[in-house]
Amino acid sequence: MRIIFLAYFLTLSVLCQAKTILVGKNHPLKSIKAAIAQSSDGDTIVVQSGTYKEGRILINKQITLIGKHFPILDGENKSEVISINADNVVVKGFKIQNSGHAALEDPCGIRVYDKSNVTVENNILDNNFFGIYIQNGKNCIIKNNTIKAYGKEEQLIGNGIHCWKSENLQIIANKISGHRDGIYFEFVTNSVIWRNISSNNIRYGLHFMFSNDDSYITNVFKNNGAGVAVMFTKNVKMFNNYFEENWGDSAYGLLLKEIADSYIFNNRFSKNTSGIYMEGTSRIKVEKNVFESNGWGMKIQASCMENEIVNNNYLKNTFDISTNGSLVLNTFNSNYWDKYEGYDLDKNGIGDVPYHPLSLFAVLTETNPSAMLLYRSFMITLLDKSEKVLPSITPDNFIDNSPLMKSLPL
């Protein structure tokens, strides 16, 4: 009891001693660096609007740094702008621009070095090499930031939000554009990416590798070079996301490569070259998603096994499903296929005739891409119709035994 009382007393004493330091042209302190030098753990520094060109600002104390009316911190294309090297830091309300550009040093708008409980919130980051970088962080929050760059080539720009070897991160409601990858995770665990908009990035809207037990919820990934890439990962949850307009050679809404034991639920894949591209995946449940107006709804390579595709809508795709092999180790159940031409005599909402979603032409174009020149020709239509009546080339067990007669209200 005495120990608890003593800890409470010490905490209260620190809070009572905390002070607020004002910075700006109308205050005695004109420099943020000078204010940090005079501060102590627990203090708050409030920065008046204006432009501050102070080079690299190092925060090495447990302080809160707040900007009023978005003061500008300008790196003048020379250096990292804010470096955080203390726990329990808050950076809020700044416009942070023009970091240096260097491929070896990876200068950032804001970088967190091996610290915990850091919050970066409600900032504007403009024309930085990397936007926000969390290195070996724990329990950090990146929230409500607008992160914009103007990269033309992926080798000459970094990522919008880059997280490495971290855990328990919250990436919430950020808007990212113009970077190499909008959001990048590597060796990041038990974290959540929620309500972000990642668009017009050169490579991926979201890219993560070796990052287990993470959740990606209600994000928009639109018009990126290749949508979202998930690699060498397990126990991923992707719910209520939008994958839209990710067009291009070898592009896709969502790439799944060497991942296992994951759940993809209630997402919308619209106007992508491929909605989902799966390679080397196992035990993935794909449920209640909408695949609409894609080149391919799903490409499931022969290296995939024990995946369950159930209760999805396939609407207006050029090809609903494609594969590169004859061995089928995945199951399709109770999906709605707008190309299904079967009947339902008992009126139970399930087609009486099983549906083969893999068309002959999809198989041909997988091995001979130039065959797409014949798309919509009478001969190809005739071949596809014949294949559905008497399957000979497409795998017999690539089949939905209970196709739905009406689309699901997703």
Q: What is the pLDDT of residues 178-216, one digit of tens each?
A: 999 999 999 999 999 999 999 999 999 999 999 999 999
Quickly list H helices, 194-307.
none
From the list 132, 171, 125, the residue with the least C-alpha distance to 148 is 125
Q: What percentage of the chain reaches a pLDDT higher than 90? A: 71
- 29-46 burial: b if 16+ Cβ within 10 Å, else e: beebbebbeebeebbebb
Split into its structural domains, the chain has a count of 1
Average pLDDT over residues 369-380: 57
Please tell me whether residue 196 adopts helix, strand or coil conformation. Answer: coil
The answer to whether residue 131 sits within a structural domain is yes
Give Cα separations from 407 to 2, 340, 343, 410 (angstroms): 65, 11, 15, 8
**Residue predicted with more confidence, 222 or 397:** 222
- Indicate if the pLDDT at residue 314 is higher than 60: yes
**Residue predicted with more confidence, 105 or 157:** 157
Work out the burial of residue 2: count CB atoms within 10 Å of its CB; fewer than 13 is exposed, 13-18 middle, 19 or more buried.
exposed
The first and second tokens of residue 145, run together, are 């930031």
- Indicate if the pLDDT at residue 1 is higher than 50: no
Angle between helices 360-367 and 378-389 (to 10 degrees): 120
The answer to whether residue 118 sits within a structural domain is yes
**CATH code where residue 278 lies:** 2.160.20.10
**How confident is residue 391, by pLDDT bands cut at 50, 70 and 90?**
low
The first and second tokens of residue 241, run together, are 């996301």
Please tell me whether residue 216 adopts helix, strand or coil conformation. Answer: strand
The answer to whether residue 161 sits within a structural domain is yes
Average pLDDT over residues 156-183: 97
Phi, psi of 215 (to 5 degrees): -130, 140
From the list 264, 279, 276, 263, the residue with the least C-alpha distance to 314 is 276
Question: What's the rounded Cα separation, in Å, for the pair 10 and 346?
Answer: 75
- Indicate if the pLDDT at residue 371 is higher than 70: no
- Residue 189 and residue 214 in contact, taking contact as beta carbons nearer than 8 Å: yes
Please enumerate in sequence order all residues whose Cβ is within 8 A of that of 60, keeping only pairs 6 or more positions apart, or say none.
36, 85, 86
Please tell me whether residue 272 adopts helix, strand or coil conformation. Answer: coil
The answer to whether residue 386 sits within a structural domain is no
Boundaries of domain holding 265: 19-341
Q: For 87-136, write each residue's pLDDT tens digit.
A: 999 999 999 999 998 877 889 999 999 999 999 999 999 999 999 999 99
Q: Name the least confident of 115-129, 225-239, 318-332.
A: 318-332
The answer to whether residue 360 sits within a structural domain is no
Question: What's the rounded Cα separation, in Å, for the pair 183 and 206?
Answer: 5
**Residue predicted with more confidence, 3 or 287:** 287
- Indicate if the pLDDT at residue 9 is higher than 60: no
Give Cα separations from 60 to 37, 214, 233, 340 (angstroms): 9, 30, 34, 63
The answer to whether residue 105 sits within a structural domain is yes
Please enumerate in sequence order all residues whose Cβ is within 8 A of that of 208, keeping only pairs 6 or more positions apart, or say none.
183, 184, 185, 186, 188, 214, 229, 230, 231, 233
Amino acid letter, residue 338: D
Q: For 338-356, write each residue's pLDDT tens digit.
A: 999 888 898 899 999 898 8
The answer to whether residue 170 sits within a structural domain is yes
The answer to whether residue 406 sits within a structural domain is no
